[in-house]
């Protein structure tokens, strides 16, 4: 990303900040087993995540600070979504514990590797992560509102695991952490040219 004077007060950053401020309320919904409040707040977080990226790209408001803020808000939202599933749906998670362990481990490993190697979380904003966010958001929303559909669950797991592996490979292969990389294939092409 080019170095320029970053305007930190913009709509995408406000939406990311909202997602951070919503986390304690989502945690409250989980702790009080308020499923309706949980799904409402997690859905708003997921929708605002989609909107902040679209607005940032559409109005050229992408900043390094915004990418980092968005990534921290994403991590918080993912943690609350996982915690909500584990807490509010113990029987379901127990039935699919191996799948959830794999999913959570593959998500955590790149985060920890980036913290160890670069002392911060990655903010790649990969296309695969965007797809994963949509697929996971639809799964969580539909699970709590319509019910469980096993084929979609396994599709969500596969897409998520592939995205997490892409992030892990990038964390391991890059000499320094960069934001907004889009895809491992684009990074590889740039290295070749």
H-helix or E-strand spanning residue 28:
helix 11-31
pLDDT over 90 at 114, yes or no: yes
Q: How far apart (Å, rounded) are the C-alpha atoms in residues 181 and 108?
A: 20
192 — pLDDT class (breaks 50, 70, 90): very low
Q: In this predicted model, which residue has the larger pLDDT, 36 or 7?
A: 36
For 133-155, the DSSP string reads HHHHHHHHHHHHHT---HHHHHH
Distance (Å) of CA 54 to CA 32, 57, 88, 138: 33, 5, 31, 18
The per-residue pLDDT for range 42-85, each reduced to its tens digit, is 999 989 988 888 898 889 888 888 888 988 898 899 899 989 99
pLDDT of 130: 87
Q: How far apart (Å, rounded) are the C-alpha atoms in residues 33 and 98?
A: 24
Q: How far apart (Å, rounded) are the C-alpha atoms in residues 43 and 54?
A: 17
125 and 70 in contact (C-beta within 8 Å)? yes
Domains and CATH numbers, the chain: 11-192 (1.20.120)
Distance (Å) of CA 113 to CA 31, 67, 161, 165, 176: 30, 19, 16, 12, 12
């Amino acid at each position: 990303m080019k170095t320029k004077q970053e305007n930190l007060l913009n709509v995408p950053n406000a939406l990311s900040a909202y997602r951070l401020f919503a986390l304690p309320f989502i945690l409250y919904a989980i702790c009080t087993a308020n499923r309706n409040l949980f799904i409402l707040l997690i859905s708003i977080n997921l929708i605002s995540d989609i909107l902040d990226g679209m607005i940032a790209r559409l109005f050229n408001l992408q900043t390094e600070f915004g990418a980092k803020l968005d990534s921290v808000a994403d991590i918080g939202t993912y943690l609350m979504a996982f915690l909500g599933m584990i807490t509010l749906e113990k029987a379901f998670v127990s039935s699919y514990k191996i799948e959830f362990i794999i999913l959570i481990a593959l998500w955590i490993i790149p985060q920890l590797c980036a913290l160890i190697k670069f002392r911060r979380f990655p903010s790649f904003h990969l296309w695969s992560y965007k797809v994963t966010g949509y697929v996971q958001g639809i799964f969580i929303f539909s699970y709590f509102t319509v019910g469980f559909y096993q084929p979609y669950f396994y599709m969500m797991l596969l897409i998520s695991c592939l995205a997490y592996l892409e992030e892990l490979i990038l964390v391991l292969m890059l000499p320094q952490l960069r934001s907004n990389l889009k895809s491992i294939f684009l990074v590889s092409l740039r290295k070749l040219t």
